[in-house]
Amino acid sequence: MKYYSTHNQSPVVDFKTAATSGQAPDKGLYFPEQIPVLPESFFREIAAMSREELAFRVIAPYVGDTIPPAELHRIVEETVNFDFPLVQVSDRIFSLELFHGPTLAFKDVGARFMSRCLGYFSRGRIGKVYVLVATSGDTGGAVADGFHNVEGVEVVILYPSGKVSSVQEKQLTTLGGNIQALEVAGSFDDCQRMVKQAFADSEVNQKLFLTSANSINVARWLSQQFYYFFAWQQWPFKDQPPVIAVPSGNFGNLCAGLVAHRSGLPAKQFIAACNANDVVPEYFRSGEYHPQPAKPTLSNAMDVGAPSNFVRMLELFGRRFDSLKALISSYSVSDEETKQTLLRVKQRYGYLTDPHGAVAFAAAEKHLSRHPADRVIFLETAHPIKFYDVVEPLIGETIAMPESVKRTVAREKKSVPIDKDYASLRAFLLALE
């Protein structure tokens, strides 16, 4: 498999180069030359397949010969070694729980796969690989955990000060070792912009071998397909493919679902569920795309005003608005609706969502009010405990804290405060080592 840049000004590369460089030299995003179609036998055998076997068969064509099969088996086995249960919540709505991994969010999947691929690729390299990543909350923890103690890799995480939850902050600031956290006096978009500037800075790149761990990285992006297939494995209505509602910020997760669908995953439709950051719902309404500054909301991991994977969504559909609209619908959900939904789902169905899941649940209900015969799976992307600051006052109860979270919260935060101008990041990077 080869990957081209969405800007078409860089040479095509293999998986190893795409995964280790993150972004293409022309600043485009890497995109696979073909989307493989899974054979019918895959879907016939899927019910009996182990998670590892399924994940291996999905990802192997994308990796090509850059990782030997035995090694790739080990990598996917370590990537999906926790549960992905599909839980019925209401008559028509099901939750795909993606929060049973080490940092309690779906980003564990992409981060674990990517860190292990980079670990493999960095073997025998002289000099370290520096992973530079901006986080709106959950990426930081998942990347920190995924890469912690991976030899030959140093991780630098930028996060917006005061705009991530306290559990999230502890997850990304307390591991130490090869993980460093920069606390930026600004928004997630500032962090993302600074990271992009660093990748474009030739002096920094001469000194350090930089790579990105954001969802623009193909290793993170494409491995997120796994759990869409796990959902289908568990889906009880094989004659009625589900509508899939994805709480979206940078749109990496949704784009992975769209790729899975292109490979044959049965799905009737996708719902792009957004909070008040509604550039994509607006695009689906008007056909015009206008990035905006990010607005802070209760579902902070989706506070993105210029979603980086939007271009991949266009690319998948050959930039044809009509085909996009035929498969995807999009809703924006306010903080007020998010709170009401979270509380109502808890009271009526006895199911506790996190604020991101609540956005997707609300979007699922909006869809069902127009298509009452459909059945919807929403992706529950994080455990509610990660957002206990929001959830507990709302439901008037404390959420039982898993042991792993207790240990994380008790650890001491270590971060380096920096300004939101690129010069501060540059100075930090040039002083490394």
Ligand X SMILES: *Cc1c(COP(=O)(O)O)cnc(C)c1O
Contact 424, 190 (CB under 8 A): no
Residue tagged active-site, from 16, 107, 170, 346:
107
| Residue among 95, 187, 215, 329 that touches ligand X (CB under 6 A) | 215
Closer by beta carbon to ligand X, 119 or else 257: 257
In the range 354-383, which residues lie near ligand X by CB under 6 A?
Answer: 356, 381-382
Query: Where do the H-state alpha helices sit in 200-334?
Result: 202-207, 218-223, 226-234, 252-262, 279-286, 310-316, 321-327
Helix (H) or strand (E) holding 410: helix 403-410
Q: Which is nearer to ligand X, 52 or 145 (CB)?
A: 145
Q: Is 409 exposed, middle or buried (0-12, 13-18, 19+ CB in 10 A)?
A: middle
252 binds ligand X (CB under 6 A): yes
Among 216, 302, 376, 418, indicate the residue that binds ligand X (CB under 6 A): 302
Q: 180 forms bridges with which residues in the sheet? A: 156
If one asks whether residue 384 binds ligand X (CB under 6 A), the answer comes out as: no
Residue closer to ligand X by CB (options 356, 375) is: 356
DSSP state, residue 333: -
Report the nearest approach of ligand X to the CB of residue 431 (Å): 30
Q: Give the shortest CB-310-to-ligand X separation in angstroms.
A: 10
Closest CB to ligand X among 102 and 137?
137
Is 160 among the residues that bind ligand X (CB under 6 A)?
no
Q: Does 103 bind ligand X (CB under 6 A)?
A: no
Under the binding rule (CB under 6 A), the answer on residue 253 touching ligand X is yes
Phi and psi at residue 255, to the nearest 5°: -65, -35
Interface positions, 317-356, toward ligand X (CB under 6 A): 356
Cβ proximity to ligand X, 330 vs 381, nearer residue: 381
270 binds ligand X (CB under 6 A): no
| Interacting residue with ligand X among 249, 257, 281, 384 (CB under 6 A) | 249
Our CB check for ligand X shows the closer of 137 and 146 to be: 137
Q: What's the closest the beta carbon of residue 251 comes to ligand X, in angstroms?
A: 5
Q: Output the CA torsion 303→188→355→77 (10° steps).
A: 110
For 392, phi then psi, to 5°, come to -60, -50
Q: Is 406 a catalytic residue?
A: no
Which one, 28 or 357, has the nearer CB to ligand X? 357
From 264, 229, 270, select the one nearest 374 (Cα to Cα). 270
By rule CB under 6 A, what count of residues binds ligand X? 18
Q: What value, to the nearest 5°, has the Cα angle with vertex 33 and ends 27 and 38? A: 135
301 scored as a contact of ligand X (CB under 6 A): yes
Distance in Å, CB of 246 to ligand X, minimum: 7
| Contact flag: residue 163 with ligand X (CB under 6 A) | no
CA atoms within 13 Å, Cβ hemisphere of 322: 0
Give the footprint of ligand X on residues 36-55 (CB under 6 A). Answer: none
Nearest distance, CB of residue 254 and ligand X, angstroms: 6
Nearer to ligand X, 62 or 387 (CB): 387
Which parts of 34-187 fold into alpha helices (H)? 40-45, 51-63, 69-79, 107-122, 138-147, 166-173
Q: Decide: is 102 part of the binding site for ligand X (CB under 6 A).
A: no
Q: Least separation, in Å, of the C-beta of 304 and ligand X?
A: 7
DSSP one-letter code for 182: E
**What burial class does residue 268 get, using C-beta atoms within 10 Å of its C-beta: 0-12 exposed, 13-18 middle, 19+ buried?**
middle
Does 171 participate in binding ligand X (rule CB under 6 A)?
no
Q: What one-letter code names the amino acid at 189?
A: D
Which range, of 159-167, 244-252, 409-417, 418-426, touches ligand X by CB under 6 A?
244-252
User: Which residue in the set 101, 247, 281, 384 belongs to the binding site for ligand X (CB under 6 A)?
Assistant: 247
* Nearer to ligand X (CB atom), residue 10 or residue 214: 214
The dihedral through the CA atoms of 77, 145, 136, 299 has a sign that is positive
**DSSP 8-class letter at 382:** B
Q: Which residue from 52, 97, 108, 138 is in contact with ligand X, where contact means CB under 6 A?
A: 138
Cβ-based neighbours of 83, under 8 Å, separated by 6 or more = 97, 100
Could you tell me the two tokens for 274? Answer: 């957004």
Contact 116, 63 (CB under 8 A): no
Question: By CB under 6 A, is residue 140 in contact with ligand X?
Answer: no
The span from the CA of 173 to the CA of 300, in Å, is: 18
Segment contacting ligand X (CB under 6 A): 237-245, 247-255, 263-271, 316-324? 247-255
Backbone angles phi, psi at 343, to 5 degrees: -70, -45
> Does 248 participate in binding ligand X (rule CB under 6 A)?
yes
Strands 93-97 vs 416-418: parallel, antiparallel or unpaired: unpaired
The Cα 119–Cα 318 span in angstroms is 34
Residues with a known catalytic role = 107
- Binding interface with ligand X (CB under 6 A): 105, 107, 137-138, 215, 247-254, 301-302, 356, 381-382
